[in-house]
Amino acid sequence: MKKVLALCCALMLVACATNPNGTKMKASDEESKLEVYNRAMFNFNYQLDKHVIKPVAKGYKFITTQSMRNRVTNFFDNLEEPASAINNLLQGEFKNSGQSVARFAVNSTLGLLGLFDVASGWGMAKKSNSFDATMAKYCVPDGPFFVMPVLGPSTPRYLVGWGADAFADPLYWALYDKKGESWVPVTAYGAPGLKFLNKRAENMVLLDSLEEGSVDFYATIKAAFLQNRQKFQSICAQSATEGGASQSYDFDFEDEED
């Protein structure tokens, strides 16, 4: 335990001193306290990833085939169908909700507990949805960008959505009220661990390219994360003004920012 604590402290010190590019961080007057926290937490996550998570993910990638990893991805994607079904319903997307239910039924049985996405082959495309999107539809504001320990970039609405959707996860209910059984701790920690590791392995190529092409990795990740969330803004706008919102990426090149 002491060793772990020492390691964490060391990582934090390293994180505070320099950013991943090696240049000294200088908090300018305008930089809010949140940004200072964000950069520090981002660096902590970056070091943790570099020294612990990424090596494990690389090992995982080495001992598995793409096909195996696809099975794992499918398995966890399938467990997210109930959440999609509920949120589609909450947004009035009845057809999509029904399709999510049908997909879950087909893939869990014929697809062998979700390992295979049989339903897509039958013309039932995935209609993913989340509580995050549901809140966005009802124009709940996103809130400021902040970096979570280990979990990475997020916003308040993102986090609330993530937590809410966790209650729709069948695995949560399978483990509920079964505290005494021996398989519970293994599944409770093993399953999210595997999901996380698999995701890390699958996004490695993309994240590596992103990092190589960036001089300020924190700013790049923040920009990409927030831009990706702009699609939620147009959901709210669309329900407010009938007639389609303009594309979120259609900015005027002459616009000055900040």
Query: Residues in the site for another protein, rule: CB under 8 A?
Result: 21, 23-28, 30-31, 66, 70, 73, 126, 205, 209, 212-216, 218-220, 222-224, 227-228, 230-231, 246-254, 256-258
Burial 201-221 (b: 16+ CB within 10 A, else e): bbeeeeeeeeeeebeebbeeb
The strand pairing partners of 24, in sequence order, are 18
Minimum CB–partner distance for residue 28 and another protein (Å): 6
Question: Closest separation between CB of residue 7 and another protein, Å?
Answer: 28
Residue 30 vs 242, nearer CB to another protein: 30
Q: In the bound complex, what is the minimum distance in angstroms from residue 133's beta carbon to another protein?
A: 13
- For another protein, the closer of residues 242 and 258 by Cβ is 258
Nearer to another protein, 109 or 209 (CB): 209
Of 20 and 175, CB closest to another protein = 20
State the minimum distance, in angstroms, from the CB of residue 252 to another protein.
5
Whole-angstrom distance, CA of residue 217 vs CA of residue 42: 9
Residue (109 or 230) nearer to another protein, CB: 230
Name the strand (E) or helix (H) holding 159.
Answer: helix 156-166
How many C-beta atoms lie closer than 10 Å to residue 114's C-beta? Answer: 25
List the one residue out of 227, 72, 80 whose CA is nearest residue 164: 80
Report the residue count for the chain.
Answer: 258
Report the nearest approach of another protein to the CB of residue 3 (Å): 34
Among the listed residues 51, 2, 42, 14, the one whose alpha carbon sits nearest the alpha carbon of residue 149: 42
Contacts for 110 with CB less than 8 Å, ≥ 6 apart: 116, 118
Rounded CA separation 187/189 (Å): 6
Minimal distance in Å, beta carbon 71 to another protein? 10
Sorted by sequence, the CB contacts under 8 Å of residue 21 that are 6+ apart come out as 215, 216, 217
91: alpha, beta or left, given left = phi > 0 and alpha = psi -120 to 50?
alpha
Closest approach, Cβ 185 to another protein, in A, equals 31
Query: Alpha carbon of 161 to those of 67, 77, 94, 146: distances in Å?
Result: 30, 16, 20, 15
Which residue, 64 or 70, has its beta carbon nearer to another protein? 70
177 vs 255 by CB, closer to another protein: 255
